Amino acid sequence: MLCVFCLCFSCFPPSVYIDYNEDVDFKKYPTYNFYAPNTAISEQEENLIMDLIEENLQAKGLESQVISKFSIDFLVEFVQTENSFSFGAQYAGNIGASYSDLNNSSTYVVMTISFADALTSELFWQAVVEKKINPYISDEELTVLYQDFVELALANYPPKPEEKANLDEAKSKTNQTDDGASNSEKSNSTTQKETGK
């Protein structure tokens, strides 16, 4: 039963939520630094997450500097939700009905990574990743989970503004339409010439 219970928890994929200021030019933020971590996790876990974030950002060409363009803050929370429901079976005769109450708690781990302008402290990008986990998760499994969370959170950083993507798509459609119209005009012109002959 415990194995089945653990397997059920492992089947839930993480949920990722990204929010950012679309007016920000992310090229203005080539260097970063960390706020002093203030979390409920151990110092070893904090250092692990900082290392994971650094590795990811450095792979994107960003650099760590004492006097940086933006600051990084992160938070890891373990949230429990309580769900209670009744179950049982009803029998005929003198036995009557028999019902039981079962309290079922779910555990979620939530990681929030925030980027803020180092000069103004204005938040310009944030990612939240959460997943329902086995409450008996091991340290090794938790390490792998942190790695997955950081990778998912920073997968599309720096973001490509939707407006620019839509503009590029609109331009592409316009070019296709123009090409089609041009080809159509050429075809009509050729037909007219042949008809004239």
Same structural domain, 153 and 165: no
Same structural domain, 91 and 135: yes
Angle at 22 between CA 19 and CA 28, to 5 degrees: 105
Domain that includes residue 195, residue range:
161-197
Dig out the tokens for 2 from the structure.
């415990």
Same structural domain, 85 and 143: yes
Same structural domain, 180 and 90: no
pLDDT number for residue 97: 41
On the 0-12 / 13-18 / 19+ scale of CB atoms within 10 A, 129 is buried
Of the two residues 196 and 55, the one the predictor is more confident about is 55
Same structural domain, 15 and 110: yes
Per 3-state DSSP, what percentage of the chain is helix, strand, and coil (rounded to 5)?
40, 35, 25
Classify residue 2: in a domain, yes or no.
no
Angle at 107 between CA 102 and CA 113, to 5 degrees: 160
> Does pLDDT of 170 surpass 70?
no
Same structural domain, 175 and 131: no
pLDDT number for residue 11: 54
Classify residue 174: in a domain, yes or no.
yes
Same structural domain, 100 and 136: yes
List pLDDT tens digits, range 111-144.
Answer: 999 999 999 999 999 999 999 999 889 999 999 9
Which CATH number covers residue 108?
Answer: 3.30.160.670
Same structural domain, 123 and 178: no
Same structural domain, 49 and 109: yes
Please tell me the total count of domains within the chain: 2
pTM of the model: 0.69
Alpha-carbon distance of 134 to 48, in angstroms, equals 21
Mean pLDDT of the chain: 78
Alpha-carbon distance of 130 to 142, in angstroms, equals 13
β strands within the chain, DSSP E: 15-20, 31-34, 63-64, 70-90, 97-117, 123-133
